[in-house]
Structure 1
């Protein structure tokens, strides 16, 4: 299992890195659309839809992701700005209000329009954020994704070493508050080191704002992770799919990114 997991991770890293730095703008949109379609197909599995409906939802979501990204890319700057502001804002409102309440109350996803719409709200802003950040600078995209990777790794090791108090035992018994604290400290350290290394200069107040932003990103990433874990538990499955040998499914890999990438993209949009 470990060998399979390592091989899959290396292949994913190679494919993703090649796509980020070598694909054309349209090619990157198509690549992101494929990822989004796979995630949507897995989401439909949470809803226990029939195979034909699952595939239809996956294809429709992939097409929607590509068409939206392409249309925005060719739109007037003011139109693109307004669209991005709306999409990223909706995502942040969802994760900050609805997603958190959903977790607290353990609402079932269901099989109807609410389930389909929620999937679109979770996945389409993520796809648009991936296209937007890569268009601004590929390193913005990778840096934002690295925040989630650092948080996951730190939470895993600090949780294993120090974990005592369960974070959400009814959703994900392995996660602990100590793991969250470890993730928060690691992400703040990562962010400050990267910014210092880049030579950026900020006022003390700005540095304080940056720290708060990094803490907020880490907190939102935890919500995204727990949200997908809750849906898997409700559906009675361990992984969102077996598309990625040793790693489960696409949603298993991007669960935290669905809540953090739109947040980073909105920050970049407002501060450019």
Structure 2
């Protein structure tokens, strides 16, 4: 299993990293639209849509993203995307904490369809918006979210005692979450000081924003874990050998990337 996971991860990196750095803006938008469509199909599986509705939702979301990339000019796309980003951040900050606490089980197709749109389309736009600041920014953002997940795992293994969400993801602990917040904040501060020098305003901004970003990324992971438990599924699909599905790999990113996009816009 470990060998399979490593090989799959290397293949993904070999395909994704050149795409981040070398594709033009429109082809990047279309590639990520296709990936978003696949994630939408997986989301529909977790939401227990019918087989036809699963495929239809995946195609619809992929076409919406691709259509926006092809038909909207830069100004229109920015307006559409900015609204989507704010909706996403509101959902993750104001709705998901209560959803996780109550472990709501929503089976109405139209409600989960709306949730899927709020989860996935802003993520697609965030992939475009963050890359608009430069490919290195998107690469760094993806690494930052990955670091949060890795740090939470190792701090949890080393120091974890208090369960974060035992009925959703028994392995996660508050100590792991604190370790992730510390690691992400430290990395962001070091990166900022190395590139821009010391700034009181930006240091304070990162000291507030990075722990929040880490908690949001954990919420994304927990939200998908809850949906999988409710659906009785171990993975969102089996498309990525050893890793499950696309949604399994981007669950934290669906929550974190829209917030990152807005934070970068705020920083100018």
Give the TM-score normalised by the residue count of structure 1.
0.94
Structure 1 Cα separation of the partners of residues 69 and 257 of structure 2: 15
Look up the SS of the partner of 2:205 in the other structure: helix
Structure 1 Cα separation of the partners of residues 202 and 11 of structure 2: 39
| Counterpart residue number, 1:88 | 85
Look up the SS of the partner of 1:198 in the other structure: helix
Structure 2 Cα separation of the partners of residues 270 and 212 of structure 1: 13
* Structure 1 position 216, deviation (Å): 0.7
Count the aligned residue pairs.
268
1:107 aligned to 93, 104, 107, which one?
104
1:242 aligned to 238, 241, 260, which one?
238
**Which digits, 9 at most, give the CA deviation of each residue in 1:66-116, with x for residues without a partner?**
1223344x24x3x44433331111111111111111111111131410011
| Counterpart residue number, 1:259 | 255
- Structure 1's 53 and 61: CA in aligned 2 closer, same or farther, altered over 3 A? same
Structure 1 Cα separation of the partners of residues 30 and 82 of structure 2: 22
* Structure 1 position 270, deviation (Å): 3.3
Give the TM-score normalised by the residue count of structure 2.
0.96
- Structure 1's 83 and 271: CA in aligned 2 closer, same or farther, altered over 3 A? farther
2:41 aligned with 1:45, yes or no? no
C-alpha contact 1:232 1:240 (8 A) present in aligned 2:
yes
Gap regions ≥5 residues in structure 2: none
| Counterpart residue number, 1:29 | 29
1:159 aligned to 129, 133, 156, which one?
156
| Counterpart residue number, 1:178 | 175
How does 1:216-231 map onto structure 2 within 5 Å? 216-231=212-227
Gap regions ≥5 residues in structure 1: none
